[in-house]
Homo-oligomer: A and B are copies of this chain.
């Protein structure tokens, strides 16, 4: 079993790559839910949706989020009606949130709803939200305390952040299957997601980090930092706030207690040579095409297999 930790748009690309090289039944995706929000009364789970749309072949190629070919007519009317409109929900996308919310109001957990949605989208890989309990990524900023989506979407991450915290994490339980899949995995891959706000919430769920330290699986991470900056989004800035350098070394620091292999981009060769705490492998990590995704996924899995067989 291959287990991948992901959140955000960069992570989804690697999940799509893994889908090309791993049998669906062998793939488990553990997804950040710290970005989840109640929007127009609906439970929206942006990172789970990105994974569902990515694996279901529905993800917008242009936007990297939401549904390919979606329209935004309801959103436009909501704006006219004076409702919040800074978070873009498409008309097709809305169906996902309406369905999930109906399932959850009927008493299903987020992971049950996610499993049912995945099945409806024809996905055979296992998609697990990190927890069925509510964990909210909150950022203390110059504009007060913001949820992740307020910071990332509404403020376009152009506001100074003082601290990041995961409200509810200390009482959250890992969703069913999360710990078991970590324990029984052959390889565990950290997608090139923001280590602070995409992976951080997952690691903040009690028991997850311990399971990662304990597992016999080889654990690899793909650096979301390339050439000293995030490929997209505010990972660099947020890593600095955590006291980590916004470099590949900072990524290694974020995962230092369990990481076996760090996969970095070729442009970071000089930086890679300075690192000794973890095995560092270089390849092309920028995923523009379907082939890029597949090749990176295959590279990461090979690195895990080599590590497993050859030792280090």
Contacts and interface: CB of A to CB of B under 8 A. Distances in A.
Interface stretch (A78-86, A127-135, A148-156, A267-275): A78-86
A73 interface: yes
Number of copies: 2
Interface residues of A, number: 24
Interface string A286-305: 00000000000000000000
Given A77-B95, A81-B120, A95-B77, A102 B41 contact: yes
B83 A95 contact: yes
Contacts of A96: 77, 81
A239 interface: no
A interface SS class: helix
A101 B101 CA distance: 13
Contacts of A94: 74, 77, 91, 94
B83 A99 contact: yes
17 contacts: A40-B98, A41-B102, A71-B73, A71-B91, A73-B91, A73-B92, A74-B74, A74-B98, A77-B95, A77-B96, A78-B95, A80-B95, A81-B99, A81-B117, A83-B98, A83-B99, A91-B91
